[in-house]
Amino acid sequence: MSLKLLLNDYRLTTAEILYHMPDHPGLLQTYVWQDYDKAPQYPVLRRFLDFWTRELDGPLHSVKVAGQKLIVPPETRVADALLTLH
């Protein structure tokens, strides 16, 4: 992953994809997909899902998406007290 993509708000994205099995449409199967993608549009995930619907037999049931920024601003805290020791 290049620093340029990380600075452009790309993040590690995980999608849990539930789909109907082609031979047994009443059963659901899970597929976990993970890649770097840009929220909230998720262009990489959308291309993958377009490929899925176009090329694969198992129709999609649902997709759950989670993302985590990899570069975040540091947390700052204000000191409650200042002590001086001699």
Please state, as a whole number, how many other Cβ atoms lie within 10 Å of the Cβ of residue 74. Answer: 4
pLDDT score of 40: 87
- Rounded to two decimals, the pTM is 0.75
CA distance 54 to 45: 14
Whether pLDDT at 78 is above 90: no
Burial of 60 (0-12, 13-18, 19+ CB in 10 A): middle
Phi and psi for 29 in degrees, rounded to 5? -120, 150
The pLDDT tens digits for 1-60 are: 677 777 777 888 999 999 999 999 999 999 999 999 998 899 999 999 999 999 999 999
Q: What would the mean pLDDT of 53-80 be, rounded to a whole number?
A: 81
Phi and psi for 26 in degrees, rounded to 5? -80, -10
